[in-house]
Amino acid sequence: MNVLVTGGAGYIGSHTIVELQNEGHEVIVIDNFSNSSKESLKRVKEITGKDLSLYDDDLLDKEAVDSIFKKHEIDSVIHFAGYKAVGESVSKPMMYYDNNLGSTIILCEAMKKHGVRNIVFSSSATVYGDPHKVPITEDFPLSATNPYGRTKLFIEYILKDLHIANSSWNIALLRYFNPVGAHKSGRIGEDPNDIPNNLMPFVSQVAVGKRDKLSVFGDDYPTTDGTGVRDYIHVVDLALGHLKALEKLESNPGLVVYNLGTGKGTSVLEMVKAFEEASGKKVPYKITARRPGDIASCFADSAKANNELDWKAQRGIKEMCEDAWRWQSQNPNGYS
């Protein structure tokens, strides 16, 4: 299968390309490298020994996108590309709406023009807003607490409307929870451009000595130890979920929605302890005030993906921490 991967040089995209190539798929990547590195794709080639077609272009460039579809017989698209920092989205909402929604519309128009009807969209558990209970199933009410989350939600609506208008489209909306970890080789992993927005890269940067201490936002939530609880999923398990979704689209299912998570919640302090055990390093932290928009607990019910995709997360917290530490300790400055 020829698969176009948008944002393929990013954290989840690069790990997904490894699994695609391991399964014998041909990969075409479009990425403008605004928050990723070309080095990640060089290392993907090290791991797989296979070439890919790379386009250093912006999805907002209609002519560039159209030319890629003209050059390649594309069968399916996996759409990762987009801005993703929650805090930045709050301060620059128009930039997020313009980029994330505009690029998706241009991509879908090119797909329509060239007869490509299969797309897997990288959505997020943020579309559930502040859930009324856990675990979260796919039929929960949808909302969002910040502009980044709203772009994910709006793109879901765009794709749903596309399918309503033309039922020949096959669309998988993958709502994933908190990706962590890295490839076993230690050659590719998460490399935030600036101060990490997510827990694991912050913890690992403290452990490697790049940062002084971790800020734990709130210890008064109604959880086991007062800190926020999240569903952490190994990035390789997540990547494999995208392959299962591509397989599903081959059966012409129409529009399908799946949670990708482990179904288990882990608190911030539990994750810190697990990382200390995996790395043998102390991770100093300080308790600070809650962040606006943060919720107490969020974890998935992934039974639907288990049943319909034959997919289940296989890697536990210990392996997530070990793999994240291998990546961080071997690459203290990321891809730089």
Where does the pLDDT of residue 281 fall: very low under 50, low under 70, confident under 90, or very high at 90 and above?
Answer: very high
Which domains does the chain possess? 2-181+233-261 (3.40.50.720)
pLDDT attached to residue 313:
98
Q: Respond yes or no: is residue 55 known to be catalytic.
A: no
Residues 157 and 132 sit within 8 Å (Cβ to Cβ): no
Across the range 200-210, mean pLDDT stands at 94
pLDDT at 259 > cutoff 90: yes
Across the range 183-209, mean pLDDT stands at 91
pLDDT attached to residue 194:
74
Catalytic annotation, pick one of 128, 148, 221, 258: 148
| Closest listed residue to residue 301, CA positions, set 222, 200, 231, 224 | 231
Residue 287 phi, psi (nearest 5): -85, 130
- Mean pLDDT in the chain? 96
Higher pLDDT, 198 or 38: 38
Q: Rank 144-148, 291-295, 325-329 by mean pLDDT and report only the highest.
A: 325-329
Where does the pLDDT of residue 87 fall: very low under 50, low under 70, confident under 90, or very high at 90 and above?
Answer: confident
Across the range 67-92, mean pLDDT stands at 95
Strand partners, 124: 176
Q: Looking at residue 257, what DSSP letter applies?
A: E
Instruction: For tokens 């490839």, name the residue.
Output: 183
CA R_g for the chain: 19
Quick one: three-class SS letters along 164-207?
A: HHCCCCEEEEEEECEEECCCCCCCCCCCCCCCCCCHHHHHHHHH
Higher pLDDT, 195 or 198: 198
CA dist list (Å): 195 to 85, 137, 198, 230, 283: 10, 32, 9, 20, 17
- The CA distance from 29 to 56, in Å, is 8
Q: Looking at residue 152, what DSSP letter applies?
A: H
Largest distance between two CA atoms of the chain:
55
Residues 193 and 36 sit within 8 Å (Cβ to Cβ): no
Please give the single-letter amino acid code of residue 270: E
- The CA distance from 297 to 135, in Å, is 9
pTM for the model: 0.97
pLDDT attached to residue 291:
83
Where does the pLDDT of residue 293 fall: very low under 50, low under 70, confident under 90, or very high at 90 and above?
Answer: confident
pLDDT attached to residue 195:
75
pLDDT attached to residue 261:
98
Residues 218 and 199 sit within 8 Å (Cβ to Cβ): no
Residues 56 and 41 sit within 8 Å (Cβ to Cβ): no
Q: Which two tokens stand for residue 189?
A: 């992993």
Quick one: three-class SS letters along 22-89?
A: HCCCEEEEECCCCCCCHHHHHHHHHHHCCCCEEECCCCCCHHHHHHHHHHCCCCEEEECCCCCCHHHH
What pairing do the DSSP bridges indicate for beta strands 229-230 and 266-267?
antiparallel
Phi-psi sector, 314: left (phi>0), alpha (psi -120 to 50), beta: alpha
Flag the least confident range among 54-68, 78-92, 163-177, 248-262. Answer: 78-92
- The CA distance from 126 to 8, in Å, is 21
